[in-house]
């Protein structure tokens, strides 16, 4: 059983590295080259990330229903194929309308082999104390992004962004396809069939508590929307495209490190207390970017501290839902994730549009700091509620 757990964890790590690391965390480095190629503003290009997120949000509840009729590994394989095809089409056809359409398929594809199925698999295999395993798996999004962004930056500079997109498509097929194809759910879940799902649907969280979870976790994702602008932010601050790749790489390395630490801490203390620490660090990082981003070292440090918020949204949110919803997790997650994804999608474009309107990233950073402050307050309210429930 232990060996099987490790195998499942390894496959989950590979899927997260491809779906989040190469689609969400590496897509921002394409903004400036695509904008230059098509002579469009960053705001219009960043709409692609919004479309990806919206497509994910719309398809997530569909995926949840399909899980009751279709094997999870088949759904995950479908996602890999869709994402790979989208990257290949974008590398051949230079039309913003085609790019928007491909963004839909990227969003649908990514959700099939990313956080939701991975969190379900690890919850089934590792039980209630799955924070460490979840942290390790989700950390691979940072590892993949850290390795990919500098390479993509160099390839774009030397050969154009089309080659990079084709290589990403090939990488997904070579790594994520076999991992998705061979993954399987825990034996006890397979044996329970659909009766467990029907039992989950019979209960529901109080509306006020569900709204509090949605608003709190959505605030984490709203701050995350700034992530895809890190490359453009560095370029706007006077740095080269190649250096911007290293900035994104610093974010991804910090992302990976902080997620692993978050998982271990969350298994030992309150999840909301862990989020409090991480959100405070994130706020400090954004303030550093706001006032001292023209200093290379401060830019790197600020970007790295900003990356703590990835742990809040990708690990903290699911763990909160697991602890509150318990056996209803697979039903509650899609409802919350829709709003989380919409929050991320809207703010990704909003940051870009604010940059285009104001001429710099100062205003978007001010907005991000404000959201961080609100997230801290909401997290405290949710923490007190969880303590009362436990008592």
Tens-digit pLDDT profile for residues 169-183 = 999 999 999 999 988
The pLDDT assigned to 196 comes to 41
Q: What is the CATH number of the domain that holds 237?
A: 1.20.1250.20
Arithmetic mean of pLDDT, 282-295: 91
Query: Is the pLDDT at 77 greater than 90, yes or no?
Result: yes
Percent of the chain scoring above 90 in pLDDT: 26
Give Dmax over CA atoms of the chain in angstroms.
60
Count CA atoms closer than 13 A to 170's CA, side-chain side: 7
Q: Any idea which residue has 């890190």 for tokens?
A: 230
Q: Give tens-digit pLDDT for 95-129.
A: 889 999 999 999 999 999 988 899 888 888 887 67
The pLDDT assigned to 147 comes to 79
- How far apart are alpha carbons 19 and 353 in whole angstroms? 26
The pLDDT assigned to 389 comes to 64
Of the pLDDT bands very low, low, confident and very high (cuts 50, 70, 90), residue 201 is very low
- How far apart are alpha carbons 149 and 247 in whole angstroms? 9
Of the pLDDT bands very low, low, confident and very high (cuts 50, 70, 90), residue 194 is very low
Cα–Cα distances (Å) from 91 to 30, 157, 379, in that order, read: 11, 15, 42
Q: Give tens-digit pLDDT for 141-177.
A: 777 877 787 788 788 887 878 888 898 899 999 999 9
Of the pLDDT bands very low, low, confident and very high (cuts 50, 70, 90), residue 372 is very high
Query: Is the pLDDT at 135 greater than 70, yes or no?
Result: yes
The distance in angstroms from the start CA to the end CA of the chain is: 34
More confident residue, 92 or 141: 92
Q: Are 28 and 228 a contacting pair, CB within 8 Å?
A: yes
pTM: 0.75
The pLDDT assigned to 202 comes to 39
The pLDDT assigned to 391 comes to 55
Arithmetic mean of pLDDT, 199-219: 77
Q: Give tens-digit pLDDT for 12-71.
A: 999 998 888 888 777 777 877 888 888 777 777 878 877 887 888 889 889 988 988 888
Query: Is the pLDDT at 190 greater than 60, yes or no?
Result: no
- How far apart are alpha carbons 272 and 88 in whole angstroms? 41
Query: Is the pLDDT at 74 greater than 90, yes or no?
Result: yes
Query: Is the pLDDT at 1 greater than 50, yes or no?
Result: no
Q: Of the spans 7-11, 266-270, 349-353, which averages the highest pLDDT?
A: 7-11
The pLDDT assigned to 216 comes to 93
Domain that includes residue 147, residue range? 2-390
Q: Give tens-digit pLDDT for 229-251.
A: 888 888 888 877 778 878 877 88
Query: Nearest 5°: CA angle at 379, between 375 and 383?
Result: 175
Arithmetic mean of pLDDT, 6-10: 89
Q: Please give, one letter per residue, the 3-state secondary structure of 320-348.
A: HHHHHHHHHHHHHHHHHHHHHHHHHHHHH
Q: Count structural domains, the chain.
A: 1
The pLDDT assigned to 193 comes to 45
More confident residue, 369 or 128: 369
More confident residue, 189 or 103: 103
Q: Are 223 and 276 a contacting pair, CB within 8 Å?
A: no
Q: Any idea which residue has 């309150």 for tokens?
A: 270
């Amino acid at each position: 059983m232990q060996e099987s757990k490790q195998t499942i964890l390894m496959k989950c790590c590979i899927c997260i590295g491809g779906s989040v690391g190469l689609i969400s965390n590496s897509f921002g480095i394409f903004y400036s080259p695509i904008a230059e190629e098509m002579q469009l503003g960053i705001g219009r290009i960043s709409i692609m990330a919004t479309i990806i997120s919206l497509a994910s949000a719309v398809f997530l509840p569909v995926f949840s229903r399909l899980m009751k009729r279709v094997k999870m590994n088949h759904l995950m394989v479908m996602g890999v194929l869709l994402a790979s095809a989208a990257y290949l089409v974008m590398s051949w056809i230079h039309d913003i309308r085609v790019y928007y359409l491909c963004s839909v398929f990227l969003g649908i594809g990514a959700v099939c082999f990313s956080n939701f199925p991975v969190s379900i698999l690890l919850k089934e295999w590792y039980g209630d104390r799955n924070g460490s395993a979840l942290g390790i798996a989700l950390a691979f999004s940072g590892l993949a992004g850290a390795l990919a962004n500098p390479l993509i930056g160099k390839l774009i500079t030397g050969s154009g962004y089309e080659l990079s997109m084709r290589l990403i498509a090939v990488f997904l097929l070579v790594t994520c396809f076999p991992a998705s194809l061979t993954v399987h759910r825990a034996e006890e879940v397979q044996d329970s069939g659909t009766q467990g799902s029907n039992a989950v649907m019979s209960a529901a969280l109080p509306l006020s508590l569900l709204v509090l979870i949605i608003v709190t976790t959505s605030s984490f994702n709203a701050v995350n929307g700034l992530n895809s602008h890190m490359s453009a932010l560095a370029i706007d601050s006077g740095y080269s495209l190649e250096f911007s790749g290293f900035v994104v790489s610093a974010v991804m390395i910090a992302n990976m490190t902080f997620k692993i630490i978050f998982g271990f801490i969350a298994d030992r203390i309150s999840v909301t207390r862990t989020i409090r620490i991480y959100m405070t660090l994130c706020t400090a990082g954004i303030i550093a970017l706001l006032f001292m981003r023209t200093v290379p070292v401060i830019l790197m440090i600020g970007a790295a501290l900003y990356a703590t918020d990835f742990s809040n949204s990708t690990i903290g949110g699911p763990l909160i839902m697991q602890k509150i919803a318990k056996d209803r997790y697979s039903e509650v997650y899609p409802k919350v994730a829709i709003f989380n994804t919409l929050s991320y999608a809207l703010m990704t474009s909003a940051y870009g549009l604010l940059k285009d309107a104001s001429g710099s990233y100062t205003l978007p950073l001010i907005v991000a700091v404000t959201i961080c402050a609100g997230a801290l307050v909401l997290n405290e309210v949710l923490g007190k509620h969880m303590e009362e429930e436990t008592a």
